[in-house]
């Protein structure tokens, strides 16, 4: 895809492919690192500057204007690198995590205190979905399945742009 196609919002509304990539990276970073692992987000490693986007949220409840602004302003190469870094961090952790840790229930509210911006305003309801869930369930239902839903959305955007397949 060209840079313009990655940024395009067919019909001028909805999400762009780059917005979805950023959102999925942010979502995984927060859910895995903050909620599941109780550690610092990958984002804290200088990614705000590299992305050229100051928003620390996950994009939940983003307005049309915000989606447009991010789609136009964010550094495309940095989004890909950030998502790769988040994914590599997740895979590294999963390779070493003890199976019983995946059965634990995280204290979502306590852990999100280190990243309050991700559940402010329109995004507050997401913490309700995560509360009381085992770490393994959070990974399956809210990282993997959430990602597949947005992958379908990306496919739809590509179709609207006349592009076949990812």
pLDDT score for 123: 85
Query: Shortest CA distance to 17 belongs to which of 96, 91, 74?
Result: 74
> pTM for the complete prediction?
0.95
pLDDT score for 125: 92
Say how far apart CA 71 and CA 111 lie, in whole Å. Answer: 29
Mean pLDDT (the chain) is 95
Domains and CATH numbers, the chain: 3-160 (1.20.120)
Say how far apart CA 49 and CA 45 lie, in whole Å. Answer: 10
Express each pLDDT in 105-144 by its tens digit: 999 999 999 999 988 887 889 999 999 999 999 999 999 9
pLDDT score for 166: 62
DSSP-based three-state secondary structure for 109: helix
Identify whether the C-beta of residue 43 lies closer than 8 Å to the C-beta of residue 115.
Answer: no
Query: Shortest CA distance to 59 belongs to which of 30, 88, 91?
Result: 30
Burial code of 127-160, b = ≥16 C-beta within 10 A, e = fewer? eeebeebbbeebbeebbeebeeebeeebeebbee
Express each pLDDT in 19-38 by its tens digit: 999 999 999 999 999 999 99
Query: Shortest CA distance to 146 belongs to which of 48, 38, 31?
Result: 31
Q: How confident is the model at residue 161 (pLDDT cuts 50, 70, 90)?
A: very high
Express each pLDDT in 56-102 by its tens digit: 999 999 999 999 999 999 999 999 999 999 999 999 999 999 999 99
């Amino acid at each position: 895809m060209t840079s313009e196609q990655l940024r395009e919002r067919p019909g001028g509304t909805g999400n762009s492919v780059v917005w979805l990539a950023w959102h999925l990276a942010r979502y995984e970073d927060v859910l895995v690192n903050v909620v599941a692992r109780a550690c610092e987000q990958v984002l804290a490693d200088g990614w705000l500057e590299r992305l050229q986007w100051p928003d620390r949220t996950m994009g939940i409840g983003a307005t049309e204007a915000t989606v447009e602004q991010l789609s136009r302003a964010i550094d495309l190469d940095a989004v890909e690198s950030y998502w790769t870094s988040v994914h590599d961090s997740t895979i590294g952790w999963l390779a070493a995590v003890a199976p019983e840790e995946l059965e634990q229930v995280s204290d979502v509210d306590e852990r999100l205190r280190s990243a309050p911006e991700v559940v402010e305003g329109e995004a507050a309801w997401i913490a309700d979905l995560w509360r009381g869930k085992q770490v393994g369930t959070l990974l399956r239902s809210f990282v993997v399945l959430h990602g597949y839903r947005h992958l379908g959305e990306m496919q739809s955007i590509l179709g609207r742009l006349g592009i076949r397949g990812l």
